[in-house]
Amino acid sequence: MDTESTHRQEALSSRNVTKTNSDVTLPKRHEEMQYLDLVQEILANGEHRPDRTGTGTYSIFAPPSLKFSLNNNGQPILPLLTTKRVFLKAVVAELLWFVEGNTSSTALSEAGVKIWDGNGSREFLDSVGLSHREVGDLGPVYGFQWRHFGAEYVDAKTDYTGKGVDQLAEVIQKLRNNPYDRRIILSAWNPADLKKMALPPCHMFAQFYVSYPRSERNEAQQNGGKKQGHLHCQLYQRSCDMGLGVPFNIASYALLTHMIAHVCELVPGSLTHVMGDAHVYCDHVDALKVQLEREPRPFPTLEIAREKGGSIDGWKVEDLIVKDYNPHKTIAMKIQRRCQLRDKYKAEMSVDDACPSSTVVSTVPSRTAAFASTTLIAVSVAAIDMVFIIGGAVIGRVAALWMISEMMKEKPIMHRIVQNELEADAFIREILANPGLTIELMGHVFINGKCVKRYNRFFNLSTTFGVPIPPYKIEKLLTGGAHGE
């Protein structure tokens, strides 16, 4: 671990400690520190790995679980991270969307929550083989599995009432009638439906458990009263985006546990978050370093504006009232989407190809070169089209690669060898700091000769290991259209 990491770890360890009158130091750490510690651990020791988005991550597997209290002496608590502002409106809207079994991103989008828009877009659905779906139809994702597990999915508009297994209703029935049951589980992972989903579930399943603390049990017996059960939830998440996803998921399942406890007339107990692949995206590193420097603040409290008992259905946003949320400022982080080109040809790439130890950054530093680059793209597209038509796919790939590489030799390009994508990012920022190069610049990050990253307005002229960029993709780059997510 480097000096900076060591100092950071010492600072983390010294936070939130108190001294007794006898000067004995007793740790009293904010629960958010578990999250910050894990982020720090990943940044310091995580393995650099490729991923489906083409961005790259630093990852560790099966880290220690995070555990959050959901009440403080009877006051409901919501573990909403405070070292940055979490998008609470989206957390609540998405959770209620899950509960109602909705599978269309349109409903969320109309409510001003756009978090599923990318996965429900025409381009994305086409890229994952769901071109028959309407825009916004995500397939049998979370809510469908919660409320209709095993039903045959048709589309987002079909009425599935009475079809499949309503797992959420069964969870509530068991908690009310058989709280000692060890099978109180809510699963979103249905292997039979995975290929029908725009995105397979990351948070896969949750198990619920009712405890009867000894102290409260004895007190109830002494007073002739009814013992009060405490509801606990353990979430398993296979893929954990520490920058954006995990703070969101913690809040979401904490809220779900509060809601279920409310309808089952239980005391909200705790949320335990168990993770599989816990990772930090390479382009979230700088933002998370800023977050690590911030001190956690008290978690907000939660008030539920509904009578206890009742149904899990029909909840509205205004039923969940979060009070005293006073976080630090928002930290912008990019939402990762599937890199469609790399996914399309991932069978032809090895792990070493996708995430090597060294990177070459190339830039074209002049208006003339940029103009020549644009011309080169047009010529290359025509060449690719021609050889594909004449020679077929295999010959076409080789020939098109040769043509592009030969024409690339004529351009003035400056190179710098870097060890990883972080250094590549730093090099790009250094170049952009020169006002004379900002607009004319064209840049790509090559890994083992393959372009894996584009910056801002740069054009990607490279290919993914023997597979030319499709003409429509290059055309979108030339016209300023969307890159692959």
Task: Note if 202 is an active site residue.
Answer: yes
Q: Where are the beta strands (DSSP E) in 15-135?
A: 17-19, 25-27, 47-49, 57-61, 66-69, 71-72, 75-76
d(CA 366, CA 368): 5
Contact yes or no for 197/180 (Cβ under 8 A): no
Integer-rounded Cα Rg, in Å, for the chain is: 26
Using left for φ > 0, alpha for ψ between -120 and 50, and beta otherwise, residue 309 falls in left
For 336, residues 6+ apart whose C-beta sits below 8 A from its C-beta are 51, 53, 55, 241, 244, 281, 485
Alpha helices in 193-303 (DSSP H): 214-222, 245-263, 285-292
CA-based nearest residue to 153, from 115, 202, 104: 104
- The kind and range of the H/E element at 230 are strand 230-241
d(CA 340, CA 483): 9
- Give the tokens for residue 260: 């279920």
- Give the tokens for residue 318: 């205004």
Three-state DSSP at 312 gives coil
CA angle 303, 308, 309 (to 5 degrees): 140
Sign of CA dihedral 467, 471, 472, 474: positive
CA-based nearest residue to 333, from 293, 280, 294: 280
b/e burial code for range 156-189 (CB count within 10 A of at least 16 → b): beeebeeebebbbeebbebbeeebeeeebebbbe
Cβ-in-10-Å burial (0-12, 13-18, 19+) of 430 comes to exposed
Active-site residue identified among 202, 233, 264, 282: 202
Catalytic residues: 202
